[in-house]
């Protein structure tokens, strides 16, 4: 029986599921590994391969193909593609586009290739859904010369958005013409969709942009880079760590990045209440902006 192993690697976690034939495909098993690179967790992403293989062995379901969610396809890869040496070379080249995710995802592909050298692997890019963003939505307002190096808005969470669009197509009445899709989790973004195609999204060149998230800042004044360098001696590496791991809900609340924790504390802790208020305000702001871009709104999906 054909079985497809789906791999979704985060910066410090890995989710996996094995799917069998059928329409829709049948989930045969699933699992999650957390705290990668942290005390008590797997050493690195590559070391996650054997625990995944052990689960498949217990179930007696070897994979016939492996699909990877890859955060960034850069300017070159705009649709799912079979993993080749050329593709891996391009992913290594664009790793600086997203240093939080890309190295671990590349390491996983290479580790699975060593474990299953004859099984095809497919890279499925989170940026692909936004490949048809209009020029006005892609260009960053910085000197034009940087666009030649691939510096522009890309957008992310594309696999999630593609899934939502396909589910809406199958519903009675078909796909609404003007959609705002809200992917709200540890990483959060919104997409404006017209006739099934992305016309705008909150994330940009990296997944750090847009809405405030659990630990990511979202959009902030770029002047902070210079200000914190001058007043705090903060390096670019420290700034990147701050906006990706110490900001968002965690940064404002100073206690937790988990909405459940903040909801439990909001009546007694103004910091928790403000973190939730800022998040909701920015989501509401983005929904309104996207409704204006679409010329109205038919359906809002959370």
Instruction: Please tell me which residue in 126, 221, 258, 261 is annotated as part of the active site.
Output: 126
C-alpha–C-alpha distance, residues 190 and 291, integer Å: 11
C-alpha–C-alpha distance, residues 68 and 58, integer Å: 22
**Number of neighbouring beta carbons within 10 Å of residue 233:** 8
Mark whether 126 is an active-site residue: yes
Q: Exposed, middle or buried: residue 94 (CB in 10 Å: 0-12, 13-18, 19+)?
A: middle
Cβ neighbours of residue 247 under 8 Å, at least 6 residues apart?
Answer: 212, 215, 216, 217
* C-alpha distance from residue 177 to each of 13, 59, 138, 201, 285 (Å): 35, 43, 22, 16, 21
List the structure tokens of 15: 């989710």
**Enclosing H/E stretch for 124:** strand 121-125
C-alpha–C-alpha distance, residues 298 and 175, integer Å: 10
* DSSP-derived secondary structure letter, 25: P
C-alpha–C-alpha distance, residues 99 and 208, integer Å: 11
List the structure tokens of 35: 């705290």
Give the angle 47-52-58 at the CA atoms, nearest 5°. 135
Q: Exposed, middle or buried: residue 216 (CB in 10 Å: 0-12, 13-18, 19+)?
A: buried
Residue carrying structure tokens 């649709």:
79
C-alpha–C-alpha distance, residues 268 and 33, integer Å: 34
Catalytic machinery residues: 126
């Amino acid at each position: 029986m054909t079985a497809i192993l789906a791999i979704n690697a985060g910066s410090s976690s890995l989710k996996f599921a094995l799917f069998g034939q059928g329409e829709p495909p049948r989930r045969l098993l699933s699992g999650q590994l957390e705290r990668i690179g942290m005390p008590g967790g797997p050493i690195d992403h590559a070391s996650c391969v054997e625990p995944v293989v052990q689960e498949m062995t217990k179930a007696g379901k070897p994979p016939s193909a492996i699909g990877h969610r890859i955060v960034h396809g850069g300017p070159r890869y705009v649709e799912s593609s079979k993993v080749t040496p050329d593709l891996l070379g391009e992913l290594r080249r664009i790793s600086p586009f997203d240093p939080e995710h890309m190295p671990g995802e590349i390491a996983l592909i290479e580790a699975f290739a060593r474990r299953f050298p004859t099984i095809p692997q497919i890279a499925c890019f989170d940026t692909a859904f936004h490949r048809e963003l209009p020029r006005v939505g892609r260009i960053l307002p910085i000197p034009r010369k940087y666009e030649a190096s691939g510096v522009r808005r890309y957008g992310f969470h594309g696999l999630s958005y593609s899934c939502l669009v396909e589910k809406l197509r199958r519903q009675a009445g078909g796909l609404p013409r003007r959609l705002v899709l809200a992917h709200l989790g540890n990483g959060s973004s919104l997409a404006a969709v017209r006739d099934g195609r992305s016309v705008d999204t909150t994330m940009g060149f990296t997944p750090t942009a847009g809405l405030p998230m659990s630990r990511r800042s979202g959009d902030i004044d770029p002047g902070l880079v210079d200000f914190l360098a001058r007043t705090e001696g903060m390096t670019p590496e420290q700034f990147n760590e701050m906006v990706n791991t110490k900001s968002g809900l965690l940064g404002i609340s100073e206690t937790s990045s988990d909405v459940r924790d903040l909801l439990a504390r909001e009546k007694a802790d103004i910091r928790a209440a403000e973190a939730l208020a800022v998040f909701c305000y920015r989501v509401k702001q983005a929904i309104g902006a996207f409704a204006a871009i679409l010329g109205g709104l038919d359906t809002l999906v959370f």
